[in-house]
Each structure stands twice: as C-alpha cells, then as structure tokens.
Amino acid sequence: MEAPEVDLREGGVVLRLRWRLAEVHVCDLTVNLRLKREESEFHCEIVDGAYGRLKVPRGLLHPAKAVLSHLADVLRPEIDALFAMNQIQIVDDQLLLDPRFLDSAAQAATTNR
C-alpha cells in the first residue's frame, strides 16, 4: 500500500488510499469524512466515497471498514496529539494549529517518538 493522502477541507477530510494487486492492477479508495467538534470531543463520520472512479454512498464502504479501523489504530498517537491541542481550524488545504496542549500526557506522547 502506498502512503495515504489526506486532503483537508473546511469541515472535513478526503482520505485516499492506493494499493497494487500483483504489481499490475492499481486499486483506489477515496473516503470523504466529516469532522465535528462537540464541546471537547471530536467525532469523525464517513459521508461517502469512491472505489476508483465509482462513487458510492456510505453504506457501500462497509467492506473497507477493517482497513480504515486498522489505519486509525496505527495513527492513534498522531490523532490523539492533534485533537489534544486547544485550537484547531481546518480550512481548504490548511490545518491551523494552536500548539498549546490541553494535558501533559498528549504532549509527552509526541515528544517520546
């Protein structure tokens, strides 16, 4: 699998995954995610996506759920550190951060890598 691509947009993220089968066939998965902040918690929701050029609704992305869950587990330290910051604003192709952490545990997780 190639490195995931992340396209930041206001109110959401577009995640693109690409892998090769038998070094010949290229497979693409695009997932549109909506980020919501409710008080101090962030929620990530799948909106829709695409397999290659075939656009599909959220329900048809269920076969990709295992891949997305595993990717989230692997990136858990980065995700936790990102959402532990006081102020995050997502605008087209930019992530504006206030680097002050809410707790010392999140700060320690990023400095111990």
What per-residue confidence (pLDDT) applies to 73? 87
How do the pLDDT tens digits run along the chain, 113 residues long? 788 888 878 778 899 999 888 888 889 999 999 988 777 677 788 999 999 999 999 999 999 888 888 888 888 887 777 666 656 677 777 777 766 655 555 555 555 54
Domain parsing of the chain, residue ranges: 5-111
Helices within the chain (DSSP H only): 65-74, 76-83, 104-111
What per-residue confidence (pLDDT) applies to 108? 54
What per-residue confidence (pLDDT) applies to 106? 52
Tell me the whole-structure pTM to 2 decimals: 0.68
Nearest to 81 by CA among 57, 97, 67: 97
